[in-house]
Amino acid sequence: MSTSATNSQLTPGVAAGRLSDEDYARNFADIAPRLDGHEARVAADRCYFCHDAPCITACPTAIDIPLFIRQIATGTPEAAAKTIFSQNILGGMCARVCPTEQLCEEACVREAAEGKPVEIGRLQRFATDRLIETGVHPFTRAADTGKSIAVVGAGPAGLAAAHRLAMKGHAVTLFDARPKPGGLNEYGIASYKTPGGFAQAEVAWLMQIGGITVEHGRKLGADLSLATLRKDHDAVVLAIGLAGVNALRAEGEGLGNVVNAVDFIAALRQAPDRASIPVGRNVVVIGGGMTAVDAAVQSKLLGAESVTIVYRRGRAKMSASAHEQDHAASVGVRIIHGAAPVRVHGNGAAQEVEFAYTEDGPGGLTLKAETFRLKADQVMKAIGQTLDGAPEGVRIEGGKIAVTGAGRTSLPGVWAAGDGAEGGEDLTVTAVAEGRDAAEDIHASLMP
């Protein structure tokens, strides 16, 4: 992240290489190592294999969870993986990053009865990792249909759509602005959740279906025209995500060492050496979602002495799960609720952030007169992302691409899926479901 390197010259408190090599290795080790075979069978035996399993309903991709757990219990993890991948082709990544504690595991009958659900996420990782590591792709491509589909965006929604369309026999061209595919999975998730280059390994495995051509460095609205894509292809999928970042709208936002949390996370994910990433002694992260938590936790793991998340509303309204909030607290991140930034103070670079206490009432959020300041030689903005330019001719609602049904936009022959599309919950698993469903709808509309 070049801005961090430049800004670190302005404030001595922002520096790289705070820790030893051993500390970096320990801090960024896999946060939830994979179960071994015995552990997986023991965990699988706790499942009741409910006929009307509430965990399936709670899963955005509707994986048959009791079936795949039974397959693990009977010693066929590769069959379990195929059950998972048939609904969620990025099931390996979702096993690592999906908020299972709010979805399938919260709905688990064991959770209601005992307060300890079946470890669905870890069982899913056990099965999917086993199959991916064999190098075998469990699906085959149908006969060529002669149809051509453009998918813009190689994140979870775009990859899911591309795979399903290719599997149906369509020729898919996948366009992405960045040098690597994966989108959020590659650039936007904490390093300790996906170590070992898993995001790229999963994409390479997915691409074994065939029929998908990838063009990098292609951005819609720059060197890529929606009108041209519509002309050259039988259908278009917009899976462009949310590349823009909301502004703080606070005085002093332009000072040095005030950075976007998403850029910090991306730089850390792409750095060949974590010691090269500068981090402050006193870091303040503004926001309440997963981006805020990931940025804050990783700042602490990089050696920051004090890291504070400040969110304008109460704990219950943070979009980061309680599990993630508790994890942040466990590594020493402080979380302050009910405060909003009003001013960044400093001389050339950030030194303090001034906050006003807030009141969240029936009429909305209001700022109180009382304020406080936090020392901050590095400030990270994590207050939400926006569309980076609306696609030409597509109707926008609430800052996202308006869709009906399985992702149909206001333009004939154009579908949208993922975080940039209306609806959804800005989760990897939701994006996968939307990409898959859009692909099915496209196939149904193109084929007699």
Domains of the chain: 37-134 (1.10.1060.10), 148-243+387-446 (3.50.50.60), 245-385 (3.50.50.60)
Question: What pLDDT is attached to residue 425?
Answer: 75
Two structure tokens written together for 215: 């063009």
Distances in whole angstroms, Cα of residue 218 to Cα of each of 150, 179, 214, 226, 390: 12, 9, 10, 12, 16
Strand partners, 346: 350
Amino acid 22: pLDDT: 97
Q: What is the pLDDT of residue 13?
A: 86
Question: What pLDDT is recorded for position 318?
Answer: 95
Q: Average pLDDT of the chain?
A: 94
Residue 34 in tokens? 């994979």
- Residue 367 confidence (pLDDT): 96
The per-residue pLDDT for 201 is: 96
* Burial class of residue 344 in the structure, from the number of CB atoms within 10 Å of its CB (0-12 exposed, 13-18 middle, 19+ buried): buried
Residue 173: pLDDT above 60?
Answer: yes
Q: Count other Cβ atoms within 10 Å, centred on residue 342.
A: 16
In contact, 402 and 395? CB cutoff 8 Å = yes
Is the per-residue pLDDT at 3 higher than 90? no
Question: Are the C-beta atoms of 303 and 22 separated by less than 8 Å?
Answer: no
Identity of the amino acid at 57: T
Q: Residues 196-227: pLDDT tens digits?
A: 999 999 999 999 999 999 999 999 988 999 99
Copy the structure tokens of residue 343.
Answer: 């001013």
Element spanning 366, H or E: strand 364-375
Higher pLDDT, residue 430 or 426: 430
Inter-CA distances, 2 with 141, 263, 268, 428, Å: 42, 10, 12, 27
Whole-angstrom distance, CA of residue 301 vs CA of residue 24: 7
pLDDT of residue 426: 81
Q: What is the mean pLDDT of residues 51-79?
A: 97
Cα–Cα nearest to 350, from 260, 262, 258:
258
β-strands 364-375, 350-361 pairing: antiparallel
Overall average pLDDT of the 259-284 stretch? 96
Tell me the two tokens of residue 165.
């369309």
Closest CA to 422 of 434, 432, 412: 434
Is 80 exceeded by the pLDDT of residue 7?
no
pTM: 0.94
Beta bridge partners of 284: 308, 379
In angstroms, the CA 352 to CA 342 distance is 11
CB 401 within 8 A of CB 424: no
What is the radius of gyration, based on Cα positions, of the chain? 22
- Among 17, 15, 8, residue whose Cα is nearest residue 350: 8
Tokens standing for residue 40: 């997986």
Q: Is the pLDDT of residue 151 over 80?
A: yes
Report the pLDDT averaged over residues 334-341.
98
Report the alpha-carbon distance of residue 134 to residue 152 in Å, rounded: 30
The confidence score (pLDDT) of residue 4 equals: 41
Residue 53 has pLDDT above 60, yes or no: yes
pLDDT at residue 5, as a whole number: 40
Gap between the Cα atoms of 88 and 60, Å rounded: 9
pLDDT tens digits along 84-95: 999 999 999 999
- Range 100-115 average pLDDT: 95
Q: What is the predicted pLDDT for the residue at 12?
A: 66
| 338/322 Cα distance (integer angstroms) | 16
C-alpha span between 37 and 74 (Å, rounded): 11
21 in Cβ contact with 391 (< 8 Å): no
- Say if strands 334-337 and 306-311 run parallel, antiparallel, or are unpaired: parallel
pLDDT at 1 over 70: no
Mean local confidence (pLDDT), 407-434? 94
Q: CA-CA distance, 260 to 123, in Å (whole number)?
A: 35
Please report, as a single letter, which amino acid is at residue 142.
A
Taking only the tens place, the pLDDT of each residue in 347-399 is: 999 999 999 999 998 989 999 999 999 999 999 999 999 998 888 899 999 99
